[in-house]
């Protein structure tokens, strides 16, 4: 697999279940009640429990390593949250390679759910040495 600027990653569809929200929050040691207690979430003005940012962060990382394989190394993950992930929704992660330089790739990631963009982010990863990439083809190379 050669990595080139403009490459699109296949979408990853993630059903937003209560189980995912609660297990993600607890596995990330985030016990804020809005991530597991629907009544408490309602009292705080939210229609239901919603996914915590640490789970979103983990899912974005997983999306990248699922696609590129276990030998790449994540260097940076920067995410910004928008529309919350509520139970019963589905988030579709999509990604596009935006830069390839010296064995490092940048991928922009968007996670869209039924009410809007849940997450927009940028991931920088180190491609492994035996990972061919289209650096020479990168139109952004000169610009960087």
Give residues in contact with other proteins (CB under 8 A).
Answer: 14, 20, 23-24, 26-31, 44-45, 52-55, 57-62, 65-66, 70-71, 73-83, 98, 108, 116-122
Q: Measured from the CB atom, is 99 or 136 closer to other proteins?
A: 99
22 vs 87: CA distance, rounded Å: 10
Q: Measured from the CB atom, is 3 or 125 closer to other proteins?
A: 125
Q: Is 92 left (phi over 0), alpha (psi -120 to 50) or beta?
A: beta
Q: Measured from the CB atom, is 70 or 136 closer to other proteins?
A: 70
Kind of pairing between the strands at 90-101 and 116-126: unpaired
Which DSSP string corresponds to 43-71? HTT-SS----HHHHHHHHHHHHHHHH-TT
Minimum Å distance from CB 68 to other proteins? 10
Minimum Å distance from CB 88 to other proteins? 18
């Amino acid at each position: 697999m050669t990595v080139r600027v403009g490459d699109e990653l296949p979408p990853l569809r993630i059903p937003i279940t209560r189980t995912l929200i609660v297990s993600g929050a607890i596995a990330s040691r985030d016990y804020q009640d809005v991530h597991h207690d629907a009544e408490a979430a309602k009292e705080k003005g939210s229609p239901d429990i919603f996914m915590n940012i640490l789970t979103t962060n983990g899912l974005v990382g997983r999306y990248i390593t699922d696609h590129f394989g276990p030998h790449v190394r994540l260097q940076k993950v920067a995410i910004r949250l928008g529309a919350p992930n509520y139970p019963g929704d589905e988030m579709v992660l999509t990604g596009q390679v935006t830069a390839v330089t010296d064995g490092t790739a940048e991928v922009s990631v968007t996670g869209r759910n039924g009410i809007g963009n849940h997450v927009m982010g940028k991931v920088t990863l180190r491609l492994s040495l035996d990972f061919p990439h289209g650096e020479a083809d990168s139109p952004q190379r000169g610009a960087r």
